[in-house]
Amino acid sequence: MNRVYNFSAGPSMLPLPVLEKAASELVNYGESGMSVMEMSHRSPVYDAIIKNAEAKLRELMNIPDNYKVLFLQGGASTQFSAVPLNLIGRTGKADYIVSGQFSGKAFKEAQKMGYDVKCIATSKDTNFDRIPTVTKDMIRGDTAYLHICFNNTIYGTKYPEIPDTGDVPLVADMSSCIISEPVDVSKFGVIYAGAQKNMAPAGLTVVIVRDDLLEYCDPKAPTMLEWKTMAENGSMYNTPPCYPIYIAGLVYEWILGIGGLEEMKRRNVEKAELLYNYLDSQSYYIAPVLKSSRSMMNVTFVTGDAELDSKFAKDASKAGLVNLKGHRSVGGMRASIYNAMPKEGVAALVKFMDEFAKANPKA
């Protein structure tokens, strides 16, 4: 069976060379005589795998030496709790920008804990069709951190630039855009991301945290959510998600092999422009996101007719363009064009969109 073009928002497609290499090593990794899925995480063989993954990610993102890289479990959603637990001790306060569903969930999770948390800006009133405008004076000077979701998977928006937070640590959920382009890690206090969009299979969460921020954890925090404990144990306080970490290492190597994040960005910009240029050139499909806030990873669009939207997703799937149905909370269509999506897949989607519009005129 030929592989389809998978536009899923996550778990998403992985680079074919990575899958092929993993397949070749599935039964016997190196000379170990066993699969990575079978080996002890305490073994010298696996120790080399996890250390290689960290080294490659550091090289890829140019992560400064004063940042720890943690390979954790629980998804980015677990970090909605871990972030306030680990950082609130700085000042007892935290600020949030709510630009979509996941940043909203993060804000609510911090509220549940009874901390002094404040939403300083939101675009909810316009159905999250843009990144809200924020100036430095809107951030409380004594806040422990400012939390944002850098790319909004559901609504298809992305921060056009890194917010200036002054001396306040910036915490960013980058689940759906990490390693899609170069990012100055030094401008963030914490970056965290579920791996199942751009890095690995579901089950791995990466946290990149500045060393000085490891000292403020709430004493009541569960041990499994303490970043300092995980850092002191090399992400092995308990059994880590071994196989996803192995795959992540292969993905990092693949990106480095094609030219790093500069080349990855070039490819991603090219794909996004191909799709957005088509959307802007016609009137059958509507792209609801403001141009200044458009995501390079998740492109949302609608026909304006719920029945046509449903037919589009079904017909596209039959044509080998799968998982284009929009999130249940917003409807319409969503094309997630992460790192592993080739330009040919986006070109095939644009061709299908044009043919569908001609074959299904609106009433």
Q: Are residues 218 and 312 in the same domain?
A: no
Q: What percent of the chain has pLDDT over 90?
A: 96
Taking only the tens place, the pLDDT of each residue in 101-131 is 999 999 999 999 989 999 999 999 999 999 9
Do 186 and 111 fall within a single domain?
yes
Q: Residues 186, 265: one domain?
A: no
Other CB atoms within a 10 A radius of the CB of residue 288 amount to 17
Question: Taking Cα atoms as reference points, which of 193, 241, 163, 246 lies closest to residue 61?
Answer: 193
Dihedral angle sign, alpha carbons of residues 77, 267, 158, 6: negative
Q: What is the pLDDT of residues 66-81, one digit of tens each?
A: 999 999 999 999 999 9
Domain-embedded: residue 58 = yes
The CA distances from residue 316 to 140, 234, 309, 361, in Å, are: 47, 44, 11, 16
Distance CA 146, CA 81 (A): 14
Domain annotation covers residue 45? yes
* Per-residue pLDDT at 328: 78
- What confidence tens digit (pLDDT) does each residue in 314-343 have? 999 999 999 999 987 788 999 999 999 999
Spatial neighbors of 292 by CB under 8 A, at least 6 apart, are 130, 131, 160
**Alpha-carbon dihedral 342, 347, 349, 352, rounded to 10 degrees:** -150
Looking at the structure, tell me whether residues 90 and 11 fall in a common domain: no
Residues 238 and 309 in one domain: no
Please tell me whether residues 93 and 34 are part of one structural domain.
yes
- Domain termination site, one of 220, 241, 257: 257
**Tens of pLDDT, residues 274-329:** 999 999 999 999 999 999 999 999 999 999 999 999 999 999 999 999 999 998 77
Is 22 inside any structural domain? no
The residue to which tokens 């609608």 are assigned:
302
At residue 362 the predicted structure's pLDDT band, cuts being 50, 70 and 90, is confident
> Do residues 206 and 285 share a domain?
no
| HSE-up (13 A, CA, CB side) for residue 294 | 21
In a domain, 21, yes or no: no
The region that residue 157 occupies, defined by phi over 0 for left and psi between -120 and 50 for alpha, beta otherwise, is beta
CB 173 within 8 A of CB 193: yes
Same domain, 227 and 341: no
Percent pLDDT > 70 in the chain is 100
In angstroms, the CA 70 to CA 230 distance is 7
Q: CATH number for the domain including 325?
A: 3.90.1150.10
Angle at 296 between CA 295 and CA 300, to 5 degrees: 55
Q: Where a domain ends, among 235, 257, 279?
A: 257
In this prediction, residues 32-38 reach a mean pLDDT of 96
End-to-end CA distance of the chain: 37
- Select from 221, 242, 257 the last residue of a domain: 257
Once rounded to an integer, what is the mean pLDDT over residues 198-219? 97
The residue type found at 201 is P
Residue 235 has a pLDDT of 97
| pTM attached to this predicted model | 0.97
Q: Which of 237, 214, 225 is nearest to 66 (CA)?
A: 214
Report the CATH number at residue 133: 3.40.640.10
- Rounded Cα distance between 269 and 195, Å, is 21
Amino acid at 313: A
Q: How many domains does the structure of the chain reveal?
A: 2
Question: Which residue range(s) make up the domain with 349?
Answer: 5-15+260-359
Residues 182 and 202 in one domain: yes
- Measure the CA angle with vertex 276, ends 272 and 278; round to 5°: 125
Region class of 147: left (phi > 0), else alpha (psi between -120 and 50), else beta: beta
User: 16: helix, coil or strand?
Assistant: helix
Does residue 20 fall inside a structural domain? no
**Are 74 and 193 part of one and the same domain?**
yes
Q: With CA atoms as reference, report the closest residue to 145 among 167, 122, 169.
A: 169
CA 142 remoteness from chain centre: 29
Q: Which residue has the tokens 């843009």?
A: 130
Residues 249 and 283 in one domain: no
Residue-level pLDDT at 363: 78
Residue pair 285/357 in contact by the 8 Å Cβ criterion:
yes
- Tell me, what's the pLDDT at 1? 55
Q: What is the mean pLDDT of residues 97-102?
A: 96
Encoded tokens for 156: 């298809």
CA angle 234, 210, 253 (to 5 degrees): 60
Is residue 100 domain-shared with residue 242, that is, in the same domain? yes
